[in-house]
Protein backbone atom coordinates (compact mmCIF):
# COMPACT_ATOMS: atom_id res chain seq x y z
CA UNK A 1 0.00 0.00 0.00
CA UNK A 2 1.42 3.43 -0.88
CA UNK A 3 2.56 5.32 2.21
CA UNK A 4 4.61 8.32 3.23
CA UNK A 5 6.98 8.12 6.18
CA UNK A 6 7.80 11.42 7.83
CA UNK A 7 9.62 12.34 11.04
CA UNK A 8 10.34 15.67 12.70
CA UNK A 9 12.33 16.43 15.85
CA UNK A 10 12.64 19.61 17.92
CA UNK A 11 14.36 20.45 21.20
CA UNK A 12 11.91 20.71 24.08
CA UNK A 13 13.97 23.17 26.12
CA UNK A 14 15.96 25.29 23.67
CA UNK A 15 18.09 28.14 25.00
CA UNK A 16 15.87 30.81 26.52
CA UNK A 17 12.77 28.62 26.85
CA UNK A 18 10.85 29.18 30.06
CA UNK A 19 9.80 27.29 32.01
CA UNK A 20 12.13 24.39 31.36
CA UNK A 21 9.96 21.31 31.01
CA UNK A 22 10.74 18.16 32.99
CA UNK A 23 10.18 14.62 31.76
CA UNK A 24 7.27 14.09 34.18
CA UNK A 25 5.53 17.26 32.92
CA UNK A 26 6.03 16.24 29.32
CA UNK A 27 4.60 12.79 29.98
CA UNK A 28 1.60 14.27 31.80
CA UNK A 29 1.05 16.48 28.76
CA UNK A 30 1.27 13.58 26.32
CA UNK A 31 -1.27 11.64 28.40
CA UNK A 32 -3.56 14.69 28.17
CA UNK A 33 -2.95 14.83 24.41
CA UNK A 34 -4.24 11.27 24.10
CA UNK A 35 -7.55 12.38 25.63
CA UNK A 36 -7.73 15.89 24.17
CA UNK A 37 -5.74 16.12 20.95
CA UNK A 38 -7.49 19.33 19.90
CA UNK A 39 -5.80 21.10 22.82
CA UNK A 40 -2.45 20.44 21.14
CA UNK A 41 -3.17 20.52 17.41
CA UNK A 42 -6.34 22.60 16.95
CA UNK A 43 -5.51 23.28 13.30
CA UNK A 44 -5.63 19.55 12.56
CA UNK A 45 -8.02 18.01 15.09
CA UNK A 46 -11.46 19.36 15.93
CA UNK A 47 -12.40 16.98 18.74
CA UNK A 48 -11.43 13.85 20.65
CA UNK A 49 -13.88 11.47 22.28
CA UNK A 50 -12.49 8.71 24.50
CA UNK A 51 -14.43 5.50 23.98
CA UNK A 52 -12.53 3.28 26.39
CA UNK A 53 -9.39 3.10 28.50
CA UNK A 54 -7.74 -0.09 29.64
CA UNK A 55 -4.44 -1.63 30.67
CA UNK A 56 -2.82 -4.17 28.37
CA UNK A 57 -2.50 -7.21 30.67
CA UNK A 58 0.65 -8.39 28.90
CA UNK A 59 2.65 -5.15 29.00
CA UNK A 60 0.92 -2.98 31.60
CA UNK A 61 0.67 -0.15 29.06
CA UNK A 62 -2.34 2.15 28.98
CA UNK A 63 -4.50 1.62 25.88
CA UNK A 64 -7.06 4.22 24.83
CA UNK A 65 -9.66 3.81 22.11
CA UNK A 66 -10.78 7.20 20.84
CA UNK A 67 -12.68 8.89 18.05
CA UNK A 68 -10.96 11.87 16.49
CA UNK A 69 -12.60 14.33 14.14
CA UNK A 70 -10.08 15.98 11.83
CA UNK A 71 -10.63 19.59 10.81
CA UNK A 72 -9.97 18.86 7.16
CA UNK A 73 -13.03 17.21 5.68
CA UNK A 74 -14.58 16.65 9.12
CA UNK A 75 -13.22 13.11 8.80
CA UNK A 76 -13.90 10.89 11.83
CA UNK A 77 -11.30 8.24 12.63
CA UNK A 78 -11.19 5.74 15.46
CA UNK A 79 -7.68 5.38 16.84
CA UNK A 80 -6.10 2.96 19.27
CA UNK A 81 -3.46 4.72 21.34
CA UNK A 82 -0.89 2.86 23.41
CA UNK A 83 1.08 4.82 26.00
CA UNK A 84 4.60 3.58 26.70
CA UNK A 85 5.48 5.55 29.83
CA UNK A 86 7.34 7.81 30.09
CA UNK A 87 8.60 8.26 26.55
CA UNK A 88 6.24 7.25 23.76
CA UNK A 89 2.62 7.24 22.62
CA UNK A 90 1.63 5.32 19.49
CA UNK A 91 -1.57 6.14 17.59
CA UNK A 92 -2.86 3.52 15.12
CA UNK A 93 -5.67 4.18 12.67
CA UNK A 94 -7.87 1.51 11.06
CA UNK A 95 -6.06 1.76 7.70
CA UNK A 96 -2.74 1.07 9.42
CA UNK A 97 -1.54 4.67 9.43
CA UNK A 98 0.61 5.08 12.53
CA UNK A 99 1.84 8.12 14.44
CA UNK A 100 4.33 7.99 17.30
CA UNK A 101 5.08 10.82 19.73
CA UNK A 102 8.50 10.17 21.25
CA UNK A 103 10.36 12.02 23.98
CA UNK A 104 14.07 11.31 23.92
CA UNK A 105 17.21 12.50 25.64
CA UNK A 106 20.66 13.09 24.16
CA UNK A 107 24.02 12.42 25.82
CA UNK A 108 23.90 15.82 27.55
CA UNK A 109 20.45 15.20 29.06
CA UNK A 110 18.65 17.56 26.69
CA UNK A 111 15.08 16.51 25.86
CA UNK A 112 13.69 16.25 22.34
CA UNK A 113 10.25 15.63 20.87
CA UNK A 114 9.99 13.53 17.72
CA UNK A 115 6.85 12.65 15.84
CA UNK A 116 6.97 9.88 13.29
CA UNK A 117 4.18 9.38 10.80
CA UNK A 118 3.35 6.53 8.48
CA UNK A 119 0.51 7.94 6.42
CA UNK A 120 -1.07 5.30 4.21
CA UNK A 121 -2.71 6.40 0.99
CA UNK A 122 -4.48 3.47 -0.67
CA UNK A 123 -4.59 3.80 -4.44
CA UNK A 124 -2.51 7.00 -4.55
CA UNK A 125 -0.31 7.62 -7.58
CA UNK A 126 3.36 8.67 -7.26
CA UNK A 127 2.32 12.24 -8.02
CA UNK A 128 -0.41 12.18 -5.38
CA UNK A 129 2.01 10.68 -2.82
CA UNK A 130 4.50 13.48 -3.55
CA UNK A 131 1.79 16.13 -3.00
CA UNK A 132 0.68 14.44 0.23
CA UNK A 133 4.31 14.25 1.38
CA UNK A 134 4.87 18.00 1.16
CA UNK A 135 1.72 18.67 3.17
CA UNK A 136 2.62 15.96 5.71
CA UNK A 137 6.12 17.41 6.22
CA UNK A 138 4.63 20.81 7.04
CA UNK A 139 2.05 19.22 9.31
CA UNK A 140 4.64 17.19 11.22
CA UNK A 141 6.72 20.28 11.97
CA UNK A 142 3.62 22.19 13.07
CA UNK A 143 2.46 19.30 15.28
CA UNK A 144 5.78 18.93 17.12
CA UNK A 145 6.40 22.64 17.61
CA UNK A 146 2.76 23.26 18.51
CA UNK A 147 2.76 20.46 21.08
CA UNK A 148 5.89 21.84 22.76
CA UNK A 149 4.32 25.31 22.90
CA UNK A 150 1.15 23.94 24.48
CA UNK A 151 3.16 21.86 26.97
CA UNK A 152 5.03 24.99 28.04
CA UNK A 153 1.76 26.95 28.41
CA UNK A 154 0.23 24.13 30.48
CA UNK A 155 3.31 24.13 32.73
CA UNK A 156 3.17 27.93 33.11
CA UNK A 157 -0.45 27.61 34.21
CA UNK A 158 0.31 24.78 36.65
CA UNK A 159 -1.77 22.23 34.72
CA UNK A 160 1.09 19.75 34.24
Taking the domains of the chain in order of start, what are their residue ranges? 3-156
Which CATH architecture group holds 3-156?
2-Layer Sandwich (3.30)
- Stretches where the chain sits below pLDDT 50 are none
Determine contact, residues 119/3, Cβ cutoff 8 Å: yes
Residue 81 has phi, psi (to 5 degrees) of -115, 125
> Which residue from 124, 34, 112 is spatially nearest to 79, judged by alpha carbons?
34
Determine contact, residues 119/131, Cβ cutoff 8 Å: no
Distance from C-alpha of 99 to C-alpha of 122, rounded to nearest angstrom: 17
Residue 118 has phi, psi (to 5 degrees) of -120, 100
Peptide bond into 139 cis (omega under 30): no
Q: Would you state the pLDDT for residue 60?
A: 96
Amino acid sequence: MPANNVAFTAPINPTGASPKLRQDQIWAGLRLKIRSAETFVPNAIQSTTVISESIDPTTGNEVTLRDVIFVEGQRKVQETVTAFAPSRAVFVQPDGSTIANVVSENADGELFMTYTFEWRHPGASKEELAAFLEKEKRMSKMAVEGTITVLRDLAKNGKI
